Amino acid sequence: MNTELIFCVDGGGTSTRARLYSSTGAQLAEARAGSCNVSTDPLEAAGSVTQAWSACAAAIRHDAALLDGVNTVIGAAGTLPPKSRAIFDAALPAFGTCEVVTDGYAALIGAGGGRPAGLIIAGTGAVGHRLLADGRSIRRDGFGWAGGDRGSGFWIGRKVLRHGVRAIEGLIVQTDLSRLLFDRIGGYAGFQDMVASLRPNHVAALAPIALDAARAGCPEAQGILDGAIRELAELVGLLDLPEDAPLYFNGGLAEALKPGLGARIGRGFDAPQADAVEGCRLIAMGQAPREITAAVGYPDPALVEGGKAERVGE
C-alpha cells in the first residue's frame, strides 16, 4: 500500500477533532464531530470518526469509500476496556492502516513532539502518561470515578457533595462552599432531586463550585482543592519522571490547580508544543513511537493489558 493520505483524530467524550494531511504532512482539511468515548458508546465513537472522515474527504473531493491509501491514527477516550474496544475496531471504516492509541498518549506526543516527557490530565477524570527514552510509555490511574481518577473533577465534586451533606446534618456550620452549593442546585429540594438521579459526570460538574468558593476565600473549599492537589502529586510521583524531562498539565482543572500542584511537587509545567491531533500525525509519519505500554513500577506485568507489556530491564 502506498500512503496517499494521513487521517488523524483526537476523540474525546465531548467532541471529536480530526485533520487530514498529505503523505508529506501538509494539512489538507479539518473537521469536527460528536462524542468519541469508546468505552461509553463504541458505535457512536466509530460513527464520529466516520463522520469526520467523510467531511475531510469531501473537503478535498476524495471519494470517502477509497480507504486503501489512508493511514489513520486515532487517539480516543476509553480505548482500554477490551469489550467495547473490539466493537469500536469492528465498526471503523476499513482504512489502509489504522492505529488506535489512548487520547492521553496522543496528547503527550503532541505536547512533547514525541520526545520523553510526562503529562498529567485532570478534568472529569484524572490520568498520567509518560513516554520513556526507549519509546515505550506508562500510564497511571485513569481507573475511573469509583476507585480511581484521584484528584479529578469527580473527586472534587464528591467532596463538595459530602461537605453539603454534613452541613445539612449540622455536623459542620454552613460555609461559603455549602451556601454556594445550595444556591446553585436550588436548595434542599434541588439537592434531593439531584442526588436521586446523579450520574458520575454530574458529580464532576460540581467541581467548579469548589473552585469558585476557594477563589472567594473559603478555607473549606481550599482544603478540598489542597486534597486534590495532594492526590495529583501522588499521580505525578507514579510517573517517576526524570528531573530534566518536560511535564505537561492538561484538562479542565489544569489552570486552576497548576500553581498549587507546582508548589507541591517543586517544579513547574512546560507549555505544550502542539495538540493531540498533531501527536497522531507524528505517530502516523513515524516521527514518534506508537503506543507500547510498559509495566515499569507495576508489581505484576500481567496487570498491563495486551501482553505487550514488559518490565524495563527484563
Give the interface with a copy of itself as residue ranges (CB under 8 A): 39-40, 78, 80-84, 140-141, 143-148, 157-158, 160-165, 167-171, 173-174, 187-189, 191-193, 195-198, 203, 238, 297-300, 302-305
- Residue (77 or 276) nearer to a copy of itself, CB: 77
- In the bound complex, what is the minimum distance in angstroms from residue 3's beta carbon to a copy of itself? 32
- In the bound complex, what is the minimum distance in angstroms from residue 251's beta carbon to a copy of itself? 19
Q: Sign of dihedral through CA atoms 34, 40, 42, 44?
A: negative
- Residue (56 or 161) nearer to a copy of itself, CB: 161
| C-beta atoms surrounding 111 within 10 Å | 28
158-171 burial string, b = 16+ CB within 10 Å, else e?
Answer: bbbbebbeebeeee
Q: Which of 111, 46, 109 is nearest to 79 (CA)?
A: 46
- Residue (70 or 156) nearer to a copy of itself, CB: 156
Q: Using CA atoms, how far apart are residues 108 and 251, in angstroms rounded to an integer?
A: 12
Q: Using CA atoms, how far apart are residues 61 and 118, in angstroms rounded to an integer?
A: 39
- Residue (118 or 157) nearer to a copy of itself, CB: 157
- In the bound complex, what is the minimum distance in angstroms from residue 168's beta carbon to a copy of itself? 5
DSSP 214: H
> How many CA atoms, within 13 angstroms, populate the side-chain half-sphere of residue 312?
15
Q: Using CA atoms, how far apart are residues 307 and 208, in angstroms rounded to an integer?
A: 40
Q: Using CA atoms, how far apart are residues 30 and 233, in angstroms rounded to an integer?
A: 36
- In the bound complex, what is the minimum distance in angstroms from residue 263's beta carbon to a copy of itself? 23
Q: 99 has which bridge partners?
A: 73
- In the bound complex, what is the minimum distance in angstroms from residue 31's beta carbon to a copy of itself? 27
Alpha helices in 197-301, H assignment, sequence order: 200-204, 207-215, 219-239, 254-265, 276-284
- In the bound complex, what is the minimum distance in angstroms from residue 140's beta carbon to a copy of itself? 7
- Residue (166 or 258) nearer to a copy of itself, CB: 166
- In the bound complex, what is the minimum distance in angstroms from residue 2's beta carbon to a copy of itself? 36
Q: Which of 100, 135, 140, 99 is nearest to 122 (CA)?
A: 140
- Residue (60 or 198) nearer to a copy of itself, CB: 198
Cβ burial, residue 104 (10 Å; 0-12/13-18/19+): buried
Q: 28 has which bridge partners?
A: none
- Residue (244 or 300) nearer to a copy of itself, CB: 300
- In the bound complex, what is the minimum distance in angstroms from residue 44's beta carbon to a copy of itself? 14
- Residue (57 or 160) nearer to a copy of itself, CB: 160
Between the alpha carbon of residue 21 and those of residues 70, 250, 305, the distances in Å are 10, 25, 31
- Residue (65 or 303) nearer to a copy of itself, CB: 303
- In the bound complex, what is the minimum distance in angstroms from residue 197's beta carbon to a copy of itself? 7
